[in-house]
Amino acid sequence: MLIERRRLFGMFGAAALAACGIAGAQPKERLIRITARKFAFLPGEITLKKGAPVILEFVTADVVMGFNAPDFKLRADILPGETARLRFTPDKVGTFTFLCDIFCGDGHEGMSGTMKVVA
């Protein structure tokens, strides 16, 4: 009887901790919306935390554009009227450049931004 009671309390305790996000919880992905337009990413600077998972969500109303963050081997096509998503977990600290890698018109060469990853 005592063993059954302990098992029952153990199950309720584990369920309560899980419901509160205390035991064994994975960090929730942070959603960052980025708009690509001629000739800028908005926001042009994003700050991330090393080891914290993120979803980068891209939209554009202009023309086909690209997102490339070579330091993280991230790449996406950004199509008008569609949403592109990249999931990743930054694994290094520093300031990194991202850029448009599909020619989108005069001014394309300056279309870049920065990703700051902090500890």
CATH label of the domain that carries residue 36: 2.60.40.420
Distance CA 52, CA 71 (A): 17
**Number of domains observed in the structure of the chain:** 1
Per the domain annotation, does 60 fall within a domain?
Answer: yes
Considering the entire predicted model, what is its pTM? 0.76
Residue 9 pLDDT: 47
Distance CA 43, CA 51 (A): 21
CB-based contact 44:32 (threshold 8 Å): no
Per the domain annotation, does 6 fall within a domain?
Answer: no
pLDDT tens for the chain, 119 residues: list them.
545 555 544 555 445 545 555 555 667 999 999 999 989 999 999 999 999 999 999 999 989 999 999 999 999 999 999 999 999 999 999 999 999 999 988 888 889 999 999 99
